[in-house]
Amino acid sequence: MTPPETQVRNENRVVIAHIYTATAAIALGAVFGVFQGFARTSVFGAPTWFDYYRILTMHGVLMALVFTTFFITGLSLFVTYRSIPRERRLAVAWFGWSLMLLGTAMAALTILHGDATVLYTFYAPLKASPWFYIGATLLVLGTWVVAFEIFENVIFFRKSHPGQPIPLVVFCATATFVMWIVATLGVVAEMGLLIPWAFGWTPGINVMLTRMFFWYFGHPLVYFWIMGAYIIWYNIIPTRYGGNVFSDGLTRLTFVMLILLSTPVGIHHEFMDPGISSTWKMLHTVLTYGVAIPSFITAFAIFASFELVAIKQGRRGFIATVKGLPWSDPPFSGAALGMLLFILGGFGGLVNASYSMDSVVHNTIWIVGHFHVTVGGPVALTFLGAAYWMIPRLTGRALWKPEWALFQTRLWFFGMLIMSLSMHYAGLLGAPRRTAEVGYMGANVANTWEPFMLLAAAGGFFLFVSILTFVAVAVGTLLQNAKTESMEATFATPAEPAAATPALLQHVFRWGALALVLAVLAYAGPLGELLRHPGYLAPGMRTW
Amino acid sequence: MTFGISMLVVFLALIGFAAFADNINPPSGMQQIDPTKVSQTPPFDKPGLHRLPDGSYEAYYVAQVFRFNPATLTIPIGSKVTFYVTSADVVHGFFVPGTDLNMMAIPGWVNQETHVFRKPGEYLVICHEYCGIDHQDMFAKIEVSQ
């Protein structure tokens, strides 16, 4: 059943709203980001009116929470609508987007007004305006509405196609949101403590409880981003080089593993905290290593897909395989350069998750280097590349200046490499993260990391130019009239001959339920330990 | 992939061995304290260095916006010092760059970590968790004497 053309146009409008909200977020976030890079160097410094921490809060919230979330909701709605054509109403989808936007606006205005300079981790007992917490909660609730829209389509598909597996790309998007629901329960629980306290209805806050709830959510948050990138790597990128998904079953297995293993790992962010005994820290170290496995599978599957195409085209050997890939195609370039950055991100991540080794790097700028080369590398660069693929299919317009788009992905790669490597190295020397000035009155040790702060600022400047280029292409495409050849979106199919996917891997919602059980088991110990120590509530204060 | 997974197992074995054989564990203080009464609660009413009968030391630090108490400390080289840190207000960090002496100061809890300084000289103690408008000015010094 083909839906009427006007309906497809309306579906595209919902997705455009999500993707261009994400574009606005990354554009603003970049402006705030480039200032910080320069402020941290001793050469440039910051003018007296410059409120480093307010700008840092904006940068973190816009990039980590707003850009990524709106892009993933937009992408997931897009792949669902295109893979399950049917007559549908879009009220729920628009409601979800509006709720997300309202929440974002509330949080952003509160920060800009100076009432929530608490960074994107909003660690209690720093006490922000309650409207900041309410805004952030509405953003999350909005994503639940979008998840409901996707799940409703999956349930429709199952009813109308009994016995058929959900299309692979929709399975991946659904798995991403199943994981997201399990994970965001943590932050909603935290908000349940923070909001009444911020209004002054409760006298104090259990600091360690809020930290545990935050990181129950905070680590799967990064897997939410990664799963967004994996949707693209498995289902869209192979179509750019005429290839296939290496295996339907292996792809579904990867996403099922990510549903299960993303959440019960959060305590590796709290290795240096009191109140959590080393048993639980060790347990979460082991579990965090487990979540590296689906990433290994992905690295294998993607390279296997590259190789199958090379063999089909008569190219043999590693160099011929790599050379034959479409490096000048902006969507491919974004994803592939992102994958290269992810190698660095993966190695660093294993260091951070390593129990005792974390004490060398915890809260140093190494960590900032790490998450810029993960969420800012594979994730953001893949998303920007995928935007070049989606925007013509949504608007019917040809991409404006594709050569700029290609330049943008390459500049991003080099900028990120320079910035992130400098941050990693400065972190090993001991430079702290989230600190406005790191000169410490000319202390010797601070002089060792100063040159790397300057290098990081230079890398940040390249990233800033790269984002300006992205915005120019994204907006330029809307402002010109050149038509694209086809708005058709096709997704990669498994290579032939394909083995049948085990039925066990089809039950995405049941795996979600199991994930919740696993998360409860992994947190029962540390949470119980915390609650056995009733302790003291911190009254909280505003220190900015 | 097989190589990757085997490496994971090797890394875990090494970390586990270090933890159980050499007692290399992250700081995990389990002692609690009323964050509103830190300045009246011994031993944090008199922060600083205390020598124990066995020749080792205990150092008590109070972190609060935007300073550490004590602001300076002199430690004899090679001595074993257990650092106890708490916060009187918001979350702070306690980190000595160039070492692995790294922990969070959480209001309501006392965190602890043992460290031996083997090189003489002046060390910085910095707050490495954002704690407010003058967070960048929050640092102390440790002098390791010959």
Residue A411: which CATH number?
Answer: 1.20.210.10
In total, the C-beta contacts within 8 angstroms joining chain A to chain B are: 192
As a whole number of Å, the CA-based R_g of chain B is: 17
Taken as a whole, chain B contains a residue count of: 146
List all residues 6 or more positions away from B52 whose beta carbon is below 8 Å from its beta carbon.
B58
User: Does ipTM exceed 0.85?
Assistant: yes
Q: Give the tens place of pLDDT for each residue, A85-111.
A: 999 999 999 999 999 999 999 999 999
> Would the pLDDT of B146 be above 90?
no
Would you call B65 and A540 a contact, using CB atoms and an 8 Å cutoff?
no
Q: Find the distance separating the first CA and the last CA of chain B, reported in whole Å.
A: 51
Would you call A125 and B135 a contact, using CB atoms and an 8 Å cutoff?
no
- A347 counts as catalytic: no
What is the domain extent for residue A328? 5-532
Q: Does any domain span residue A537?
A: no
3-state class of A84 per DSSP?
coil
- Active-site entry in A219, A240, A284, A424: A219
Element (H, E) at A130: helix A130-160
Say what the pLDDT of residue B41 is.
93
- Active-site entry in A216, A342, A371, A425: A371
Q: Does any domain span residue A18?
A: yes
Would you call A431 and B133 a contact, using CB atoms and an 8 Å cutoff?
no
Task: Please give the tally of structural domains in chain A.
Answer: 1
Could you tell me the two tokens for B78?
């090679």
Residues of chain A scoring pLDDT < 50:
none
How far apart (Å, rounded) are the C-alpha atoms in residues B59 and B27?
15
Q: Does any domain span residue A538?
A: no
Q: What is the 3-state secondary structure (H, E, C) of chain B?
A: CHHHHHHHHHHHHHHHHHHHHCCCCCCCCCEECCHHHHHHCCCCCCCEEEECCCCCEEEEEEEECCEEECCEEEEECCCEEEEEEEECCCCEEEECCCCCCEEEECECEEEEEEEECCCCEEEEEECCCCCCCCHHHCEEEEEEEC
Q: Does any domain span residue A539?
A: no
> Would the pLDDT of B53 be above 70?
yes
Would you call A355 and B25 a contact, using CB atoms and an 8 Å cutoff?
yes
Could you tell me the two tokens for A161?
């196609």
Q: Give the tens place of pLDDT for each residue, A509-518.
A: 999 999 999 9
Q: Across the beta sheet with B102-105, what order do the strands follow?
A: B72-76, B139-145, B121-126, B92-95, B102-105
Relative orientation angle of helices A248-261 and A508-532, to the nearest 10 degrees: 20
Say what the pLDDT of residue A5 is.
84
Residue B59: phi and psi, rounded to 5, are -120, 125
CB B88 within 8 A of CB B108: no
Say what the pLDDT of residue A408 is.
98
List all residues 6 or more positions away from A388 whose beta carbon is below 8 Å from its beta carbon.
A330, A331, A334, A399, A402, A405, A473
Would you call B129 and A293 a contact, using CB atoms and an 8 Å cutoff?
no
Q: What is the DSSP letter of A522?
A: H
Q: Which of B17, B104, B113 has the highest number of chain A CBs within 10 A, making it the mutation to test binding with A?
A: B104
Q: Give the tens place of pLDDT for each residue, B5-37.
A: 777 777 777 777 676 666 677 888 889 999 999
- A434 counts as catalytic: yes
Say what the pLDDT of residue A403 is.
97
Topology annotation, domain B29-145 = Immunoglobulin-like (2.60.40)
Global pTM value = 0.95
Say what the pLDDT of residue B20 is.
67
Say what the pLDDT of residue B23 is.
66
- A269 counts as catalytic: no
Instruction: Give the chain A residue whose CA is nearest to the CA of B112.
Output: A274
3-state class of A538 per DSSP?
strand
